[in-house]
Structure 1
Amino acid sequence: MPEEKRVIDLKRVLQEQLVKEGSTREASLKYAEAVFPGSMSAAIALGAPFIQAAERINAKRPDAYSTSFEHVQWLPASDPSVVRDGLTFVGHIKGFHEKFKHAPTPSLLKVPGYFKGTPHTVIGHEAEVPWPGYIEHMDYELELGYVIGKRGESLRPENALDHLFGITIFNDFSSRDRQAIEMPIQMGPTKCKDFAYGIGPWITTVDEFKDLDRIGMEVRVNGETWGKGDSSNKLWTIAELIAWASLGETIVPGDVIGSGTMGGGSALELDRRLQPGDVVEMIVEGVGTLRNTMGQPIAGLWWPEERKPFM
């Protein structure tokens, strides 16, 4: 309950309700764990029973098993099977390529581009961001996270939004110096991205938004606004991005697809960079604030020795 700055322990509430109705504690716990599992992806996969049970409990606003935000340790809003991150905002496409001094590839006009990243370095709200010592130019990227609600294969844009569960905030932390080395290999980003993906603080279900293409977005660093805009001016629609992600493969509940960075939503476009200890806040209308603190560079990591030319 964001407006009350507290969270409800749904599993505990359901268990106690069942006990009052005559169930044993063991049986009620098993039932409550089935309806409210520890995995958000598993919960979303339950579909209507999960949502309906949560809404019934929330309607009663139980105080007995709620905790204020200040006492909560936040996990990532979802535990996706794979991270997908798109490139759809026209402003960022232009700004990014201008800073790297090369023209956008015409391929961006042919298909909705995205890359796949590891789900094992996903972090949540208030988490410290790991900073591998090989990174010198650290950046954030302000994005929406499209959370998938049901399994789908080879969807079409006209039915793709039926598979959208909700929206979260997605911060695609990026090493710009390593990205400049990796991308010319033409196999996609690896070490410049996979050290951390911020997802949180929670998921707002899609029915809570009046217009998915006019969601206000802002990023602040140490309290100073570095970028502000909204989710309009996309090269590809949300439905097209989801359909493309599912084409010839499978998307599953809890998967998160990054919208791509909002125009002006990265420090690269401002000729700025993050420093250790910086506090990065991403604010999205209808969702909330995802706040992370940059960690200290991790020293002593191995790095490959450059090879001699073979051509």
Structure 2
Amino acid sequence: MNRSTDSHPPGAAGTPYRGRFAPSPTGRLHAGSLMTALGSYLDARAHGGQWLLRIEDLDTPRMVPGAVDAILHTLEAYGFEWDGEVVYQSRRLDLYRDALDALLVRGDAYPCACTRAQIAAHARRGVDGYVYPGTCAQGLPAGASARAWRLRVGDGYTGFLDRLQGEYGQDLQRDVGDFVLLRADGVWAYQLAVVVDDAAQGVTDVVRGADLLVSTPRQLKLIERLGLDVPAYCHLPVLVNVQGEKLSKQTLAPELDPDGAAAELSLALSRLGFPPPPRLPLTELWRWAHEHWLLSGVPAGPVNIGAVP
């Protein structure tokens, strides 16, 4: 069922629309990431806005050699045109350090000495892994040293109105607990980096896959604590396999063929609810997509990969 609430003005608070696509180079693009790229791109252009490209390359242990070049080549081959230069998270570490320092000054963040095994032994399951039990919230245990840094979430409900999925929210203390900002291995956590980058780039509208819906309350809490502008959110349907698993690199999703742009884009449009006329050349397919895109026609999802022939 579609629950689109797309009645807001272009961009958050009526400012000019600025969207983005932010893939991680842990592999090449696949059909699921193409749906996200396509939906975010068409939505930005439908609002007369910009579409930025950011490479989220912080998690170096998971990065695949050559993946960045492959992602850029595939996007170009498929006809995507981004605005401005490509931004790389690995070149923006000072921004994340500044944000953590600001949170520490206000008492909103604290060091944590817990290992994953210790947390698993004492915590219960929440909406996205174990709920941190607050072991270090009042200070490190005697003799312990900091391994990671966490945000103090506090009490209360954190919710928002998604443009496609409707109302969504969490009681962060109950559902997630104080969450990591800087990991024990020295890698900046996704939640902090994405909030800082979206704000620094002036992103007004975040259009991404619904697998990240569960992360949004955490990001909203960070936005609140850092005093940043809140973007509009739209979580597009995820593509799942026959087992109901999200199509991803972990579920061995087949990579996109740079030479099969028209066929793959046609499939992606169909999965988003807009089946185009058959066998359109790439240029005409893009023209058709721009003319027919309307968020209210997109399903909330998930979308089964076998549902569209």
TM-score surpassing 0.5? no
TM-score by length of 2: 0.25
More strand by share: 1
TM-score by length of 1: 0.25
More helix by share: 2
